[in-house]
Amino acid sequence: MDRYVDTSTLQAFVTVKASPCLLGKDTVLFHELGRSVYADEGTHGQQIKIVIEPAYTHKRGTRGWVYIQSIDKNAYDFFNQLDKQKLTQRNPFVEPVFLRDGQFGNTAVGYFSTMVKSNAVLFIFPE
């Protein structure tokens, strides 16, 4: 998401300003990175609702431009396992998930994937 932030913008879970260099009513265009993966298998032509948590605070009516990135199955499998692994770090009731050995072959140093970024879509925060 791209949006303008000002001196009142804080990190959502920490009381740290998004940009301590701003003064008064200054604003700056900010690129807010987020990463969640959702499978769309079996949803051809259907509407998908995506729930995201902003990394920075906002006010009702704040405008942002959202980009959605499509990834292939290799990238989805990797990031989905990574997300499940992160869930186990702070929740004692979640069973640990480990990245599979040899997921991308026995000799892989990295992996290749396809990713396509959408055009920007205007989003106005409702609350």
Half-sphere exposure of 42 (CA within 13 A, CB side): 0
pLDDT in tens, 16-26: 666 666 677 77
Mean pLDDT computed over 32-42: 79
Q: Write the pLDDT tens digit of every residue in 96-110.
A: 656 555 555 555 555
Q: Is 111's pLDDT higher than 70? A: no
Average pLDDT, the chain: 76
Cα atoms in the 13 Å half-sphere on the side-chain side of 4? 8
| 115-117 and 69-71 beta bridge pairing | antiparallel
Please write the tens of the pLDDT for every residue from 50-97: 777 777 788 888 888 988 888 888 888 878 877 777 776 666 676 665
Distances (CA, A) of 125 to 23, 54, 65: 24, 10, 11
